[in-house]
A and B are shown apart, each in its own frame.
Chain A
């Protein structure tokens, strides 16, 4: 690792930190229904959409908000499923790609709607242009917008307000956040050398005289929303390792920034909306600390390389380069793997399967915790849930009925949170056990690494990340259906239960703060929060992780 490598990472982090607050304040204003300047700018355009859609910008009930979210998402999944199934008969299919097989269509539709972008189909050749545009691209906007709408409703609930309108929030997320940023960054990507064209694939004659087909298309625009919306599905099969999808260090930097942009700014948006900027900052810093620790471990183990190879005397000054792009080297590849899993994006510029065992453990840990920033909206939702658990424990420790933002956390909220807590371990461990027991032949590696492959696949699905450890024969009915179900439940159960928590809290009277109240905007609270996240995460996944990456590391 060179000084430049480290400097590049430090600069990236600095930009992330600098952007977090202003973007957060922008988000808070963007979702404020009251009159403000943003509403004057976007209002006319949005009102037009509201008119067409028959949407009114007025508060729904909590149940209606949750129902609108789940039903609209389910309907979209169904429609896109039909598009994939019948793409052979639909227009814009110059290459004559046939309809998708049912289980694959099921998996793919859920995958993109749930912000996962697990791709079991083969990249460029599995989808028609029509499917790409109406299915993939459409969902790449709607899915993060759903996440952002949700977290806004949740924050409103925590602060005692009505949830707002799901559809209005959804549209605002697209018009005010995703579209403008994606548009500008797409232009930047073009400037950096990413193709943006509707021309068909180019044909080139190689030096040897052979004919080579070079796939291309509207990559820049796709890439922008892929990263900004924490989607992660690649235009090309090899995702951001492809030179057209990530030509150089600068495009790599922009991708990292886009992945973290929304999720790192949400704590500040929350702080602004709750009138507690300081608390937002504490949550931001807590996550940043976890993120930096993860990055540090990842960089050092990847740099150390594979001890077995090192022992053979292989030159390893570059670190472990297996499966990595020469353009990015160990540092930028390892860092990308941390960012893409911390933000639950799932884009890759390196093969996660070939990371060193502990280097592969870091992405896995990020997804298991799902609170090291996390995906657009839902990540911060999880963070707030853990904050409530932290408040519950701390409240007990200081001898008061725990309260969060002045609202008492009681049996009802804890029941809903208890259910939510169960979802992640259940959706990761149970399917992994089933897969290992029933479908061992689809796992390409024996032993510890094979176990990690299966564990990674379901962790990625449950956390709606979408990156793959690869090496799985995952285009089978079993994997399509099982990961499809896991992605769906992993996304929507917690959304519904946590909206119910918000609804329940919103209806409560606030308790005024006194010196006996436990403060949630102190470094101590940040420490308790991180402690709760790590302890719960570690206790849940310790055995699985020990049998996977840790055992692999120990036996190298």
Chain B
């Protein structure tokens, strides 16, 4: 699956075009009351096309035809917006379905014999064996073995990940491929309930329910529609008293222009597109409600390691031990790291550069690089001159030196203990039988995190860092990263306690997690994002799953949630503000013949009553497709204080919403008058 999908493909557009007509079905239309009113208006004008005098009207037949056509277009535009948004989801689902071809599973029967069965026959609790090159037949947990798995079908990430029995990396997803080794998996989902199935139905929008905010907004739109219905239905009685005859198609035109068709037509597209944006971001939201809630988050709980910092891996200092100088320690540390491609190794060289220490690059040339191994817990280089340089875990290096008859400097233990207490990791550096010093590997805050937390503070979001470190270290990192608060020496229960405490104050809390012991906290949080690399339990408890397993992504999810609400608000305001201009187009036009002085209200100087009405209607229709890109992309959101944000959006969508139609209708009228 392409990670950043292009917004539109020809296939999606043509599919959406077809859907636009299917959605004209009144039974489907009824779900959107605003557009349903337009549909009724369309049907009435359609009738008038064939029987222009059905209601004793005198408008020309062509006017009825044109009105009916514009109303039909209005409906199609709105349907198209929705279909387009749905289409993008469907396209994603389709590519997922392709991975869900018929997989054959090697099921282990009770007797232990392996039998080939179709994947669809697997039930919860079955055991299967998967060898390299085979697809995993269903969601499950590795119970035996270790294998690298290609999960690109789901995550789009091509680098394989290691899955092994026990621990936090035991869950496998159906449809992914085992690249090496062989594992035994216990199936944890019945057919139709697997992660892939859920993902498909989610992106398809099949289970889409209206979110609370959507319902609230919809109520307002229905109320406005009813108000305008009252206005338009009573109008002919008022004009009758004045002896002015009202024409049905003109009243319908007025009604359709006044009711909030712009937002009414785009509302569901905005919701679907919002979900979709989250998906495009490789985060799976289990419900639209979760996406909306993420816009309201007050507090975010983040794990330190992996989210805020890189983990204990960056060299920050060289600490000499008894009998050596700092530059000696640094010298040998870098020699040992010359060919070391691990982040730790590279960070040693970077630190050298930064400190301006020099070392003899030639020295390591031709030497043999010794890779880090779990058994030795050391890496290094055997130089051409026979000297052996090693760096590694302090006790491993100690052992290595002692085994060659060397001695351990007396301050080694106290120095390495000091580094550990400060939250760092000490690496000892030795040449043959002599230990020169320690490399202080320090937790380093990821670049850009400080700015992000600063942004969040401006958005009014409090950040809390969770870490197993001691309070001292935690405080240092917290200060460096700029988080608002931290919990040191935290245990999984602490997270729940913090979430509960924040929630008791009425706050909405978001957190990320991957381990089984994170599951209760993920469930307790209002927005819980599980890492796809995490355990099944964590994924079940969360209401979002990040396929890239990047915990800092929660920040973008919050922005998407906000953007979703803002798009709705902006287009609602725009839609309502538009009515001012439409009134000034249609009302004078309706009465200009009976009351010539109404010309005063024709501030746009529209050509004729009929052209004025048609121009307003055309504007009303074309504004929908013009706003589809905005509805899909969402209005631009940059973190800033709510006051400034409101001012900006009011200016663009409120004030702009009043001005734009005056210009638009006038321009359309200049064209329309050529034909009328």
B572 shortest CB reach to chain A, Å? 7
**CB contact between B642 and one of A430, A516, A551 (< 8 Å): that residue:** A516
Decide: B220 and A414 in contact? CB cutoff 8 A.
Answer: yes
Decide: A400 and B580 in contact? CB cutoff 8 A.
Answer: no
Q: Total number of A-B contacts with CB less than 8 angstroms?
A: 203
Number of interface residues of A (CB under 8 A): 66
**CB contact between B234 and one of A421, A433, A509 (< 8 Å): that residue:** A433
Decide: A535 and B576 in contact? CB cutoff 8 A.
Answer: yes
Q: Does B472 contact A (CB under 8 A)?
A: no
- Pick from B233, B459, B653 the residue with the most CB of A within 10 Å: B459
Stretch at the interface among B112-120, B292-300, B377-385, B610-618: B292-300
Q: A396-B569, A551-B595 are in contact. Are A433 and B647 (CB under 8 A)?
A: no
Q: In the docked arrangement, what's the CA distance between A544 and B242, Å?
A: 12
Q: A398-B649, A518-B646 are in contact. Are A393 and B569 (CB under 8 A)?
A: yes
Q: Which residues of B contact A511 (CB under 8 A)?
A: 298, 506-508
Which residue from chain B places its CB closest to the CB of A416 in the assembled complex? B219
Q: A432-B234, A436-B237, A555-B595 are in contact. Are A393 and B642 (CB under 8 A)?
A: no
A16 shortest CB reach to chain B, Å? 30
> Which residues from 568 to 586 on chain B have a C-beta closer than 8 Å to any C-beta of chain A?
568-570, 572-573, 576-577, 579-580, 583
B303 shortest CB reach to chain A, Å? 23
Main secondary structure of the interface of B (DSSP, over half): helix
Q: A398-B566, A411-B219, A514-B461 are in contact. Are A434 and B241 (CB under 8 A)?
A: no
Decide: A512 and B298 in contact? CB cutoff 8 A.
Answer: yes
Q: In the docked arrangement, what's the CA distance between A556 and B327, Å?
A: 99
Decide: B295 and A399 in contact? CB cutoff 8 A.
Answer: yes
A433 shortest CB reach to chain B, Å? 3
24 A-B contact pairs sorted by A residue (CB < 8 Å): A397-B569, A397-B650, A399-B295, A399-B566, A401-B212, A401-B565, A410-B216, A418-B219, A421-B223, A422-B230, A433-B233, A436-B237, A451-B242, A512-B298, A516-B459, A522-B643, A539-B258, A539-B583, A541-B231, A546-B598, A547-B242, A551-B595, A554-B598, A554-B600
A471 shortest CB reach to chain B, Å? 15
Main secondary structure of the interface of A (DSSP, over half): helix
**CB contact between A436 and one of B212, B238, B506, B649 (< 8 Å): that residue:** B238
Which residue from chain A places its CB closest to the CB of B568 in the assembled complex? A396
Q: Which residues of B contact A478 (CB under 8 A)?
A: none
Decide: B642 and A401 in contact? CB cutoff 8 A.
Answer: no
Additional A-B contacts beyond A512-B298, A554-B601 (18; CB < 8 A): A393-B569, A396-B568, A396-B569, A398-B646, A400-B562, A400-B642, A401-B292, A410-B212, A410-B216, A414-B217, A422-B230, A448-B242, A510-B506, A511-B507, A528-B650, A539-B231, A551-B598, A555-B597
Q: A410-B212, A418-B220, A451-B238 are in contact. Are A399 and B562 (CB under 8 A)?
A: yes
Q: Does B215 contact A (CB under 8 A)?
A: yes
Give A contacts to B, CB under 8 Å: 389, 392-401, 406, 409-411, 413-415, 417-419, 421-422, 425-426, 429-430, 432-434, 436-437, 440, 447-448, 450-451, 454, 509-512, 514-519, 522, 524, 528, 531, 535, 538-544, 546-547, 550-551, 554-555
Q: Which residues of B contact A528 (CB under 8 A)?
A: 646, 650
Report B649-676 CB contacts with A as 1/0, cut-off 8 Å. 1100110000000000000000000000
Q: Which residues of A contact B458 (CB under 8 A)?
A: 515
B638 shortest CB reach to chain A, Å? 11
Q: Which residues of B contact A436 (CB under 8 A)?
A: 237-238, 240-241
Q: Which residues of A contact B601 (CB under 8 A)?
A: 546, 550, 554
**B interface, size bucket:** 35 or more
Report B196-230 CB contacts with A as 1/0, cut-off 8 Å. 00000000000000001101110110110011101
Q: Does B462 contact A (CB under 8 A)?
A: yes
Q: Does B457 contact A (CB under 8 A)?
A: yes
Q: Which residues of A contact B372 (CB under 8 A)?
A: none
Q: Does B561 contact A (CB under 8 A)?
A: yes
Q: Does B641 contact A (CB under 8 A)?
A: yes
Which residue from chain A places its CB closest to the CB of B507 in the assembled complex? A512
**CB contact between A418 and one of B223, B461, B508, B572 (< 8 Å): that residue:** B223
Q: A514-B461, A543-B238 are in contact. Are A429 and B213 (CB under 8 A)?
A: no
> Which residues from 292 to 314 on chain B have a C-beta closer than 8 Å to any C-beta of chain A?
292, 295-296, 298
Q: A409-B216, A429-B230 are in contact. Are A401 and B241 (CB under 8 A)?
A: no
Q: Which residues of A contact B213 (CB under 8 A)?
A: 396, 401, 410
Q: In the docked arrangement, what's the CA distance between A430 and B226, Å?
A: 13
A176 shortest CB reach to chain B, Å? 34
Which residue from chain B places its CB closest to the CB of A550 in the assembled complex? B601
Q: Which residues of B contact A524 (CB under 8 A)?
A: 643, 646-647, 650
**CB contact between B296 and one of A393, A401, A409, A454 (< 8 Å): that residue:** A401
A428 shortest CB reach to chain B, Å? 9
The 7 closest A-B pairs by CB, nearest first: A516-B460, A396-B569, A399-B562, A514-B460, A418-B223, A433-B237, A554-B597
Which residue from chain B places its CB closest to the CB of A440 in the assembled complex? B241
Q: Which residues of A contact B217 (CB under 8 A)?
A: 396, 414
Q: A401-B565, A409-B216, A414-B220 are in contact. Are A447 and B242 (CB under 8 A)?
A: yes
Decide: A517 and B577 in contact? CB cutoff 8 A.
Answer: no
B25 shortest CB reach to chain A, Å? 27
Q: Which residues of B contact A517 (CB under 8 A)?
A: 460, 642
Q: In the docked arrangement, what's the CA distance between A389 and B227, Å?
A: 15
Q: A401-B295, A524-B643, A524-B646 are in contact. Are A551 and B563 (CB under 8 A)?
A: no
Q: Which residues of B contact A447 (CB under 8 A)?
A: 242
Decide: B642 and A518 in contact? CB cutoff 8 A.
Answer: yes
B153 shortest CB reach to chain A, Å? 33
**CB contact between A434 and one of B237, B298, B568, B643 (< 8 Å): that residue:** B237
A340 shortest CB reach to chain B, Å? 26
Q: Does B360 contact A (CB under 8 A)?
A: no
Q: Which residues of B contact A434 (CB under 8 A)?
A: 237
Q: Which residues of A contact B215 (CB under 8 A)?
A: 411
Which residue from chain B places its CB closest to the CB of A421 in the assembled complex? B223
Q: Does B342 contact A (CB under 8 A)?
A: no
A381 shortest CB reach to chain B, Å? 18
B592 shortest CB reach to chain A, Å? 11
Q: Which residues of A contact B579 (CB under 8 A)?
A: 535, 539
Decide: A437 and B568 in contact? CB cutoff 8 A.
Answer: no
Decide: A437 and B240 in contact? CB cutoff 8 A.
Answer: yes
B457 shortest CB reach to chain A, Å? 7
Decide: A547 and B646 in contact? CB cutoff 8 A.
Answer: no
Q: Which residues of A contact B507 (CB under 8 A)?
A: 511-512
Q: In the docked arrangement, what's the CA distance between A389 and B223, Å?
A: 12
Decide: A515 and B583 in contact? CB cutoff 8 A.
Answer: no
B467 shortest CB reach to chain A, Å? 24
Q: Which residues of B contact A413 (CB under 8 A)?
A: 216
Q: Does B587 contact A (CB under 8 A)?
A: yes
Q: Which residues of B contact A544 (CB under 8 A)?
A: 231, 234-235, 238
Decide: B570 and A397 in contact? CB cutoff 8 A.
Answer: yes
Q: In the docked arrangement, what's the CA distance between A396 and B574, Å?
A: 13
B566 shortest CB reach to chain A, Å? 4
Q: Does B399 contact A (CB under 8 A)?
A: no
A358 shortest CB reach to chain B, Å? 13
Q: Which residues of B contact A450 (CB under 8 A)?
A: 241
Q: In the docked arrangement, what's the CA distance between A510 and B503, Å?
A: 10
Q: Which residues of A contact B508 (CB under 8 A)?
A: 511
Q: In the docked arrangement, what's the CA distance between A367 and B570, Å?
A: 30
Q: In the docked arrangement, what's the CA distance between A509 and B503, Å?
A: 10
B251 shortest CB reach to chain A, Å? 10
Decide: A396 and B566 in contact? CB cutoff 8 A.
Answer: yes
Q: Does B645 contact A (CB under 8 A)?
A: yes
Decide: A540 and B646 in contact? CB cutoff 8 A.
Answer: no
Which residue from chain B places its CB closest to the CB of A406 in the assembled complex? B506
Q: Does B375 contact A (CB under 8 A)?
A: no
Which residue from chain B places its CB closest to the CB of A418 in the assembled complex? B223
Decide: B227 and A421 in contact? CB cutoff 8 A.
Answer: yes
Q: Which residues of A contact B234 (CB under 8 A)?
A: 429-430, 432-433, 544
Q: Which residues of A contact B583 (CB under 8 A)?
A: 539, 542-543
Q: In the docked arrangement, what's the CA distance between A299 and B641, Å?
A: 41
Q: In the docked arrangement, what's the CA distance between A539 and B336, Å?
A: 78
